[in-house]
Structure 1
Amino acid sequence: MRDRGWAVMIPVKPAAAAKSRLGDDARRGDIARALALDTIDVATRAAGVARVLVVTADAALADLLPGGVELIRERAATGIDAALAAASGRVGLRRPRAALPADLAALASAELSAALAMASAAPRAVIPDAAGTGTTLLTARAGVPWASAYGPDSFARHLALGCRPMPVRATSGLRWDLDTPDDLAGLLPRAGERVRGVA
């Protein structure tokens, strides 16, 4: 990570409550935590990223974070928007900020770096998930107040907030969050070492 550049903010649900769409898979909590740690590692290695902030109420995850990652502890999970508001408040307006979900199993650092470089041209920017309805990257340039509206159809909500959609190819790991057993099967060959180790 560099002294100047983006602050990447990653909210992480407690593992016991995460990845409910994986169903009764006994590995669900382990997969969720592995996904988060792999995604965090990718962010720390991305060119142009100066700070990585993780917001979580998961005490076990907090003890596993790599050095240099900033932890914002929640007493209880507050939701994505509240977590990001807390992280953005810590960063302040002098640095560009980006929100990243903790389940981008196939994301590569170079893909994140390229997307952040592209997003720097817009006051606010957004990248949709593969389905085109969710959000995988949300940004605000330095000096621009943070705003987010996660939930169903968050991509449309973020467009309504004035975010510029960024063109990212459909095969990019930045488009593919992992929610379902089919996602897990399809993304596993491209996943990080922790996810491959538990899935």
Structure 2
Amino acid sequence: MTYTAIVPMKAWDQAKSRLHADPHVRRTLAEAFARDTLAAVLACPEVSDVVVVTQGDLVVDHVRAAGAHVIQEPGDRSLDTLGSAIRHGIAWAGEHRPDVPVAVVPSDLPALTPDALGELLREAATHPFAFVADANGDGTTILTSRSPELMRPGYGPGSAERHRGLGAYELVAPGALRQDVDVLIDLAAAERLSLGPHTRQAYADLTADEASALSR
């Protein structure tokens, strides 16, 4: 049984406000995270459809070229409303693949691999509704359900406990599926797990630039 994967993806120039003071660095890293995450999801045999929910045109060409569906949210929606993006993806899944399991995968898992995701999704298929707590234990990375109608997303601060309260089973998962990135210390932790190629290059460039600046 294969999944519909919903990947909310904020426009790269609007993403990761806490990651770095330089907006160019933030944009470069956000794009790298998203490209690596999307590539891993698309390469996972347990995923048959990938739906990226975004706003604006910045990410659309890459997403379509990679082979994912794109849902454009209304332009007047707040860029910070993750729940709205996920609901749009669930609605697409309910219309197009109503009897197929669903997985929400955030676009900032730069150490994600197709094999790790596939193993998790096979385990998740044995539970009606399940989630993966993030590396801090407070938030949520991946959320799954056996069908779109069973999906009850509660992302945001404290979402791990919220999903438990909604009846989701907590899946045991390796670090690559738990390590999302909001601040630079998260990126350093992801690097120790092994980054995808785009993030590895972007992080190497950032490290080199900052080392050069310190030596001047």
Given the two structures, how large is their TM-score scaled by the length of structure 2? Answer: 0.84
Alignment partners' CA distance in 2, 1:142 and 1:149: 16
In the TM superposition, residue 78 of structure 1 has moved relative to its aligned partner by 6.2
**Residue 149 and residue 59 in structure 1: after superposition, are their counterparts in 2 closer, same or farther (change >3 A)?**
same
Alignment partners' CA distance in 2, 1:52 and 1:182: 29
Superposition map of 1:50-61 within 5 A? 50-61=48-59
In the TM superposition, residue 16 of structure 1 has moved relative to its aligned partner by 2.2
Once the two structures are superposed, residues 97-117 of structure 1 have per-residue CA deviations (whole angstroms, 9 ceiling, x without a partner) of 000111001111111001110
Aligned to 1:83: 85
Higher helix share goes to which structure?
Answer: 2
Superposition map of 1:6-45 within 5 A? 6-25=3-22, 26-45=24-43
| Bigger Rg, structure 1 or 2 | 2
Aligned to 1:180: 183
Given the two structures, how large is their TM-score scaled by the length of structure 1? Answer: 0.91
Once the two structures are superposed, residues 78-110 of structure 1 have per-residue CA deviations (whole angstroms, 9 ceiling, x without a partner) of 622111111111111211000011100111111
Alignment partners' CA distance in 2, 1:51 and 1:43: 9
Alignment partners' CA distance in 2, 1:187 and 1:176: 6
Superposition map of 1:157-172 within 5 A? 157-169=162-174, 172=175
Q: In terms of mean alpha carbon deviation, does 178-187 or 96-105 score higher?
A: 178-187
Q: Confirm whether residue 198 of structure 1 aligns to residue 202 of structure 2.
A: yes
One-letter code aligned to 1:70: H
In the TM superposition, residue 198 of structure 1 has moved relative to its aligned partner by 2.2
Any stretches of 5+ residues in structure 1 without a counterpart?
Answer: none
Alignment partners' CA distance in 2, 1:166 and 1:144: 20
> Do 1:127 and 1:136's aligned partners in 2 also have CA atoms closer than 8 Å?
yes
> Do 1:6 and 1:49's aligned partners in 2 also have CA atoms closer than 8 Å?
yes
Aligned to 2:61: 63
In the TM superposition, residue 160 of structure 1 has moved relative to its aligned partner by 1.0
Once the two structures are superposed, residues 101-150 of structure 1 have per-residue CA deviations (whole angstroms, 9 ceiling, x without a partner) of 11001111111001110010111001101111110110110364321111
Give the aligned CA root-mean-square deviation in angstroms.
1.6
Alignment partners' CA distance in 2, 1:185 and 1:162: 33
- Matched pairs, number: 194
One-letter code aligned to 2:85: A
Alignment partners' CA distance in 1, 2:109 and 2:27: 16
One-letter code aligned to 1:108: T
Instruction: Give the 3-state SS of the residue equivalent to 1:122 in structure 2.
Output: coil
One-letter code aligned to 2:40: V
Alignment partners' CA distance in 2, 1:143 and 1:191: 31
> Do 1:85 and 1:146's aligned partners in 2 also have CA atoms closer than 8 Å?
no
In the TM superposition, residue 195 of structure 1 has moved relative to its aligned partner by 1.4
> Do 2:179 and 2:189's aligned partners in 1 also have CA atoms closer than 8 Å?
no
One-letter code aligned to 1:184: L
One-letter code aligned to 1:49: V
Superposition map of 1:110-121 within 5 A? 110-121=115-126
Once the two structures are superposed, residues 138-196 of structure 1 have per-residue CA deviations (whole angstroms, 9 ceiling, x without a partner) of 01103643211111011111111110111124xx3001011111222332361111112
Identity %: 32
Any stretches of 5+ residues in structure 2 without a counterpart?
Answer: 204-216
